[in-house]
Amino acid sequence: MTRPREQPGSGSAAQRLTAAPKGAPASIPAGRVGRAHGLDGSFYVTGARARLLTIGTLVSVAGRTLAIVRRAGTEQRPIVRLEGIEGRSAVEPLRGSELTVPARAAPSLGEGEWWAHELEGCEVLDGGQLIGTVNRLIELPSCEALEVTPAQGGEPLLVPMVKDAIRSVEPAERRIEVNLDFIGPS
Least Cα distance to 144 among 170, 179, 115 occurs for 115
Mean pLDDT in the chain? 84
Q: Exposed e or buried b for every residue in 110-134, given b needs 16+ CB within 10 A?
A: eeebbbbbbbbbbbbbeeeeebbbb
pLDDT at residue number 24: 53
**What pLDDT does residue 9 have?**
32
- Give the pLDDT confidence of 82-115 residue by residue, as tens digits: 999 999 999 999 999 999 998 877 777 777 788 7
- Evaluate whether 27-105 and 120-183 have a shared fold: no
What is the residue extent of each domain of the chain? 27-105, 120-183
- Does 2 have pLDDT greater than 60? no
What is the rounded average pLDDT of the residues 64-86? 95
Topology given in CATH for the domain delimited by 27-105: Elongation Factor Tu (Ef-tu); domain 3 (2.40.30)
CATH architecture of 120-183: Roll (2.30)
pLDDT for 186 equals 54
Least confident of 109-118, 121-130, 170-179: 109-118
For 21-52, how does the pLDDT look when each residue is reduced to its tens digit (9 = 90+)? 445 567 888 999 999 999 999 999 998 888 89
pTM of the model: 0.60
